[in-house]
Amino acid sequence: MAGGSKRNLMAVMRMVGGICLLGQIAGGQSRPASLPVQAEIVSIVSVDLVAAKAGPQSAKACLGGSRLLAAITAAPGGAAAWELRCGKVVLGRGQARLDGLGRGQASATLPDVLARAEAAMSIVSAGRQASRQIDILPAAMLRDVRATLAGMKLGVMDPRGLIQAAMKAQDLAFTDLRPQLENDYFRGGIVILAGFDDANMLADVCNRMAGRVRQGMALVVLYPPAGWQAMGVRRTELPPPAATAEVHLAKNLCSTVRESDLRQVELSCALAADPNAETLVWFETRGRAKGGGPAAKHPLAVARSLDEGVVLALTMPQLTDCYSDPVGRCMLSEIVMWILKRSQRPKEQR
């Protein structure tokens, strides 16, 4: 008798829990999900005053509002004076103590910016001077389209929680699609998939959404694993060794991210799609035959229309972390903006 009462109580609890979950789905709310707490974003730059003829270093991209940490190398002992300046505005200055090996550090909080800004970290010690250019990127590029995205409804599935953290950092409303019911019933305008290690699992999730894409959804797949293919797009592997290359961006794709931001990483994979797909980001390699041969174009981001909707796949390494990587976060925002602009085009131009 007692066992039967206990079973009945458990059944009632399960039923109530199911009703609550379905009520959240009907109301357009996501079920609370435990996400890892994201650490403070810190950008580290090195400034060396000892190297006699060190070549110029490339600019360091940093997110606005994050902490900048400068690792200083100078003559042992004493101190180094530092200043962080953006045009005529001094963002911070101070003295850094140097240890017996001439190492020290300076720290400053970067300002929140609405558009890309250039700053410089200057160090002076024992008659030597060096500086490093800092490019400050907006941490919340999508702040002006929050209402539009809320109306379209944004869905996110990332088991690492990084895309969710990037959306929260921009104060964007979104639905976490990790619960299976949310995944199957979500009917929003944009879905972002990231953080998958299993190609077949990712392909299954994509194929489950194929019907909704055909009805008008935009499906974004970030850095899919090796072997992935779905809806006419697949990842391809590049022959070793991986190398850096000059990356090209389609005209009018980006307002903040520059081609130079995408050059300092190794590229080991690309994408392939049918001829009707639009290539948004790519790099080129020349043949190994004598004379170099014709250049081969390797897409890193493609958009393939599927009836009323579109599927986008991107393999730039910066997109593996769209939370703390400044270029990755801004590139994701650029893609979302591209989708919004596409939705405003006449049907025949999509």
Residues 259-286, mean pLDDT to the nearest whole number: 90
pLDDT averaged over the chain?
85
**Higher pLDDT, residue 178 or 206:** 206
Contact 310, 282 (CB under 8 A): no
Contact 332, 174 (CB under 8 A): no
Architecture of the structural domain at 42-137? Sandwich (2.60)
The model's confidence at residue 350, banded by pLDDT at 50, 70 and 90, is: low
Residue 22 pLDDT > 50: no
User: Where in the chain are all domains bearing CATH 3.40.50.880?
Assistant: 141-349
% of the chain with per-residue pLDDT over 70: 83
Residues 182-186: contacts with CB under 8 Å, at least 24 apart: 182/25, 182/30, 182/31, 182/155, 183/157, 183/208, 184/208, 185/25, 186/153, 186/155, 186/212
The model's confidence at residue 27, banded by pLDDT at 50, 70 and 90, is: very low
Architecture of the structural domain at 141-349? 3-Layer(aba) Sandwich (3.40)
Phi first, then psi: give them for residue 124, nearest 5 degrees.
-130, 130
Residue 268 pLDDT > 60: yes
pLDDT digits (tens, 9 = 90+) for 173-198: 999 998 776 778 899 999 999 999 99
Q: What is the pLDDT of residue 17?
A: 36
pLDDT digits (tens, 9 = 90+) for 28-55: 333 334 455 567 899 999 999 987 555 5
Q: What is the pLDDT of residue 24?
A: 34
Contact 170, 154 (CB under 8 A): no
Tokens 């270093």 identify what position?
57
- pTM higher than the cut 0.85: no
pLDDT digits (tens, 9 = 90+) for 92-143: 999 999 999 999 999 999 999 999 999 999 999 988 999 999 999 999 999 9
Q: CB neighbours of 63 closer than 8 A, spacing ≥ 6?
A: 41, 43, 110, 136, 137, 139, 324, 326, 329
pLDDT digits (tens, 9 = 90+) for 54-82: 556 788 999 999 999 999 999 998 899 99
- Rounded to the nearest 10°, the torsion over CA 27, 34, 334, 112 is 110
User: Where in the chain are all domains bearing CATH 2.60.40.10?
Assistant: 42-137
Residue count (the chain)? 350
